[in-house]
C-alpha cells in the first residue's frame, strides 16, 4: 500500500540526505583546513617507525628517518639531561632500552652517548639531531617528559624549536 511504500522510502531519503550533507561538509571544510596547515596527518609513527629487531629501534635516528621517508608524522619524547641537553628518549629509566639502570635526566649527554639502544649501534639522539634529520619533511608531535626541572625543560625546548623551520 501507499503507507508501506512511503515508510520504506523515508529512511532511504534520510540516509541519502545525510550522505550528501557529509560530502558537502568535507568539500567545503577540508580545503580550508589544508590551506591553513591544520589538516591532520593520516598516520603517526609513535617513537618513529621502529623495528627493534632490525636496527631501526624506537626513538632512534633510523626509526625517525624511516617515518619521514614515507611521510608519517612522528611522535617523540624529550628529556633534559643533567648538563642541560635535550635528548629524545621515552622512558624515565634506561633499563628497558639500554639494559642498565639509570635516569637519563640525571646523566650527562656524554654518559648517555655511551649507551646503545636495544643492543644495536643506535644511540640516544639529541633533539637537534632529530630536527636536523627530519628537516621539516613531516609533522612532529613532541612530548616534554615530566621533570623536577619543569621550568627549564619547556624553555629549552621552545628556544630550540624557534629555529626549526618545519611544521
> Is there a catalytic annotation at residue 90?
yes
Please, what's the b/e burial string for 125-136 (b: 16 or more CB within 10 A of its CB; e: otherwise)? bbbebbbeebee
Interstrand relation of 86-88 and 73-80 (parallel, antiparallel or unpaired): antiparallel
CB 93 within 8 Å of CB 79: no
> Is there a catalytic annotation at residue 79?
no
> What are 74's strand-pairing partners?
45, 140
Tell me how long the chain is. Answer: 167
Q: Which of 66, 79, 90, 123 is catalytic?
A: 90
CA distances from 30 to 21, 39, 42, 43, 63 (A): 14, 8, 14, 17, 30
CA distances from 126 to 34, 60, 89 (A): 31, 10, 9
Q: Which of 45, 46, 62, 131 is catalytic?
A: 46
Any idea of the CA torsion for 48, 140, 129, 100, to the nearest 10 degrees?
Answer: -50
Active site residues: 46, 90
Amino acid at each position: 500500500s501507499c503507507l508501506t511504500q512511503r515508510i520504506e522510502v523515508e529512511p532511504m531519503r534520510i540516509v541519502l540526505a545525510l550522505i550528501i550533507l557529509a560530502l558537502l561538509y568535507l568539500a567545503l571544510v577540508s580545503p580550508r583546513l589544508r590551506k591553513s596547515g591544520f589538516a591532520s596527518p593520516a598516520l603517526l609513527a609513535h617513537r618513529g617507525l621502529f623495528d627493534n629487531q632490525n636496527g631501526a629501534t624506537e626513538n632512534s635516528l633510523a626509526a625517525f628517518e624511516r617515518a619521514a621517508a614515507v611521510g608519517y608524522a612522528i611522535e617523540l619524547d624529550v628529556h633534559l639531561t643533567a648538563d642541560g641537553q635535550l635528548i629524545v628518549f621515552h622512558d624515565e629509566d634506561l633499563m628497558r632500552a639500554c639494559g642498565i639502570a639509570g635516569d637519563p635526566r640525571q646523566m650527562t649527554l656524554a654518559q648517555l652517548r655511551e649507551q646503545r639502544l636495544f643492543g644495536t649501534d643506535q644511540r640516544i639522539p639529541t633533539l637537534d639531531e632529530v630536527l636536523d634529520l627530519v628537516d621539516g619533511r613531516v609533522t612532529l608531535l613532541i612530548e616534554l617528559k615530566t621533570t623536577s626541572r619543569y621550568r627549564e625543560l619547556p624553555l629549552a625546548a621552545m628556544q630550540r624549536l624557534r629555529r626549526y623551520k618545519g611544521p
